[in-house]
Structure 1
Amino acid sequence: MPPKAKKQKEILQDERLQAIVLTDSFESRFMPLTAVTPRCLLPLANVPLIEYTLEFLANAGVNEVYLMCCNHADQVQEYIDRSKWSDVGSPFKIATIMSLESRSVGDAMRDVDNRGLITGDFILVTGDVVTNMKFDGALEFHKAKKAQDRNHIATMVLTQASPFHRARSKDDSACFILDTTNNRCLYYQDIPNYYLHDKKTKRKKRGNKAITIDPELLEDVDEFAIRNDLIDCRVDICTPHVPQIFQDNFDYQYLRKDFLKGVLSSDLLKKTIYAYITESDYAARVCNWQTYHAISQDIMARWCFPVCPDLSVVDEDDEMTYESRHIYKGSNVVLAQGCKIDGCTMIGSISSVGDGSRVGKSVIGKNVTIGKNVVIENSYVWDNAVIGDNVQLKYSVVANGAQILSGAVLNRDAVVGYNVTVGRNMTLKPNTRISAQRVKYNSGLSDNEDEEDDSLRDEAYVGEEGVGFAYKSDSESDSDTSSDDEDYSDHQFHIMDLKFDSLELSDDESIISATASKKKSRRQSSTMYETDFDEDDEEEENFEKEAIATVERAMENNHDLDTALLELNTLRMSMNVTYHEVRHATSSALLTRINHFVATQTLAVVPAVKKVLDQWGPLYRRQVFEKDEQVDLLNIFQILCSQEDVEPNGASFFFNIVQRLYDMDICEEENILKWWHQNEKAYEGDVKLVQLSAGVKKFVEWLENAEEESEEESD
């Protein structure tokens, strides 16, 4: 090959646009259906979800597509092999990657990096995206930012929509803080539902809508905007640095609240991420049943044109005709003369609707039989299902091969799984989910080996003639599901308060260290079979020894704080432990140092505590970020000071440490009081704890009296 031709070939390879498609969501929102079928193959408007994503990538000009498959990977592989995307005329090369050990987005991205799949910039997208966006504008925006900013590593594609837009997921709402001059993302935070369910009282309570942000992140920013009017369709244009960052940070599991948040708050990485915002394009994700219904209706109402039923045909032999009022009919559909079909309705080929039945704002699959006097509203009946006479379906889903016998009633959010039979005149309460086989939450289908009941049904749900078992997730109570008068209008978006937090948050993941939500075990998909990924005790002990040795070495050699912090953070990520273990190891090393000064009579207790904490206490500023973590730090010191190796100075150590942490603003007054009142009753009857807490009790009383005097002065 001539040198010139060889050079041109290399240039073409460098300009290839690749795409990574995450076919698994690593969530349980479509259970128990996803225990049988991968989420990306669930039908949306009678078309598998993955088809919408692949069609988008084809229009975007992608050259190579890699499907990262975890849950039911064999089914995904089989579908792709017989699809048009594997034909010679396919617009891109497609390959399925069996990432069977992945339990999160982070695991999948680390697998991508290990396999060396990425050769340049690539599109990272989930397998549930529905969009008609013109991708050229986003790609040009990404290239322009990359040329201007050498630290630029990713561009998020977001769609502007009103806070109450129905295609916005009420479970995954989020807030983006953007620099208005260039759309650089400054901060990201998940926003909980405006109303949350309290399991104890079984009532709804308002979620926390405040945003806590380090003001240092807003330095050198003239003007910024707080945006909660954006739909995050999880379409990102990434550089090869993104998989590498996931590889270097073992505890990055989620794409937004781990990776995005960690990169934006890191002083070490110093990388930037921008947002490309579309206004006229349609883009959304099918991430729960709410968005499934909303996007289905949008597709039939042609809001996503040219993505619409009569044009998005997977099977060329299956023609779909479009009629007025957004009614779609497949070939060989049989409609009785007395039936009524309302607007925004689709009926698949070889299906029939009986006399006196009414179907509206619903999708009926192929080869579905609907009996007489049936009412189907805002519901979805998939292929080969049978609906008996006098059945009522409202906001429900009936999967492939299921049978609903005559007189049955399916209330709001009922999900009937594959091949389930619901008996005659049975009534399913709202949010009821039925599967043909027993399904264990977080493990998939049960093999029934450990089940005492090997029957074919839960009669309370499917009746004597039925076949099926009730499915309940860990988040559901043992009682029946919500009542008929459930208020579904509570999921709203409201203006947030902006709070500035003065804590120094600077390492890779300082902003995401909520100990209540961070776990040592790697997260796993609830649709996968059970696998043990918990850290064993030996690994925890190894981290404890290594971390203590790191801090002791820093104190002995008088290292600077940044070096010690970097070593601790690297050790934490490599062993995948939480910040609680880091605080425990740091506290143990500092207390040993204090005890050494006192035991050798080098210093008295007070100057020893002051010397060690004044120099090394700032380590906690990058280990303690939330109020509960301040309480956790006090609990750690309480346990360490009660051990025999620091007696008889434990009580004196503890009192002076608490006071010093307060003086250094590491532990705030309200959190010290909170810790005290939480543990006050535990001291009763325990002589050692009473002695240990005697000095702290006086300090707490002083804090309370000072607070009361301050309130009186202000009055």
Structure 2
Amino acid sequence: MSGATLAVGDLRSAIAAHSQRVSSGGKKASAALTWVLKVSPPGSRQRGLPDDAGLIYDEDSLQLLAFSPLHSKRALLVTDELLNRASTGSPIRVRYDLSLPELYICEPSVLRLFGQSFDFDTLQKHLIPHLLKQELQLETIFCHSIKCRIEQLSPFPVLLAYARTCDARRRRRVPQAERQTNSQLYVLTARDPRGYQAVLRDVLERWTFPLAPDSHALEAQEYLKYRGRGVYQSSSVSAGVGGSIGPLAAIEGDASVGDSTEIRESLVGRCCSIGNNCSIVGSLLLAGVTVEDGAVIHDSLIASKCVIKKNARLNRGCLLAPGVVVGEGVTLPPLTRCCLPSAPAMQRLRQQQSDACVEAAAASKKGEDASKTVSLGQDGKGVVFPNPGGGMSPADFEAVSLGASVLPRIRLPLPKFDAEDDDTQSRASDACTALSDFDLASATTSQEQHEDMTFSTEIAAMCMEALEQPQQQQHKILEMKSFRLACNKTDADISELVLLTMLQQLALRATRSKEGWTAYAESHRCRPLLASFLEPSKDALSFFLLWGQTVAFCSKAEIVYTDVEGEEVRAPNPFEGARGFCEVAELLHAADLFDVESSLPRWAKAARTAVSTANGSSSAAASAAESLAAQSLGRLPSPSAVLPFLETPRMQAFLAWLEEEVEEDSD
């Protein structure tokens, strides 16, 4: 693999498949290499311009038949010659949802092929197209596609937006013997600044775990400590007062951050100095960068030893080479690239300009005139590199810059199912009609229900793992929060699912006593796990939802869940009914999982009012409490179904005792 490729995971299944092909090749064409491909939708932030390509392969043998970059095309042609290459009777697959990391499993013959031709530079650009064009194929290429831990981060409204899988969550669904071969893999090749920004975000979101800032240190650096909200910070960092660090930030050792400074979704390297009232968003600052007071840096890459002086502003896509100084008050427009006059890239550019023809010289002069309009200031140091460089079009240049999206550069049109489309000629087209409002609403509701079910399943699985491995609980909490963001959910949504999982485990695995529940909660760190998703306010929605979830749990006769091994567990519910709900409330109070004393009486009062009155109370606060209580009862057949759980003598006495306890504490 290339030096720009980050791969974390288990490749033994791919290597075993490659070895099997090599050993069973016989007199047929030998397997030269296996290309590890990654399932990645077109809108994924991990997808780059080189990934705008179509691949065709034999579905049975996985032999690659065609590889066609679509950067300048609007279609992928499948010819008869291509079909004849497939195995007899074997279907072929045409894929456009694969990204192309530079990760290959190669035979020694690949080195021989590179030695025979000096025109070969890379496998993807030169060797693979060369082998596919050979009429007599003596060396063949095979594919091994993987579904990575993070699959979709695009605005597409599809389930892939939250189908991101972590290795621990997926391992629970397969038997122990199969875990080694089915573990998920993270792989990404950063070919441009945008790719490095994607890698940074994936690392901060822990998709590359166990390769994380708090578990791996490079170049003898100290480990970064996790501070919450996706923030990793060295213990030697000097942080100012009134600042905001995070979410998603890493600050390495011996760095200093001034007062009232905002840093999020960014990396601050070693020995960096950040002044007061600065804003750094979506950027990478390498070692030794100095940012003075009032500077603003958005979606930029700043190399080592650069200086950003007071009140300077770097807009999206800026890239500074080592040693560049941006003067005081200077604003760099988007996509500006700067370097020192002695930089090798600048020297090569000047050499190319001196050897070019008259037309090229005129064009370069025009580029120089345009670059002179951008100044680094009187106290600045460096020159503006003409954009774009390397024969790249302005649109492509923008697509590879930080903060950009590759989606506008995808030229392959999506299929249209429109009866009036001239390009579509089908006898059945007249029967194609638009969905009615009813059908559309029904489809939307069904999709939302499926999304909610998937979200519940994944959160419950992560909670089970957190309970089974309390020492890894902080990692699981961060995974759940990242998953919540991807699914557009809230901490309240997670809190009720976490409580449900805890109730299931307490009911089946803990001794049915106050001491038993307390011991289980302490040994499995239930309270800190649940508290990570609760709001501090005692009458907040999180607490109301917890009691609604508890009532729903006690209203069911059977407990059904999936254990960490992926097996479904069914057992009778020992706390079914109104008496069981009261007992659960008492045990929760004893185990001190959350604030039962204040939240239960308030929720019970609001729930009764919400059921008995249709218009609500005249008080605005009471009306808000009733609406929250009504929302917490959504899992019951009807809101009135909660009344039997609240009107038992034992529950009435318990509520009265809790109210007395609260009054005594307030006195």
TM-score (structure 1 length as normaliser): 0.46
Q: Which has the higher helix share?
A: 2
- The two structures have a TM-score, normalised by structure 2, of 0.49
Between 1 and 2, higher relative CO (CA 8 Å, sep ≥ 6) is seen in 1
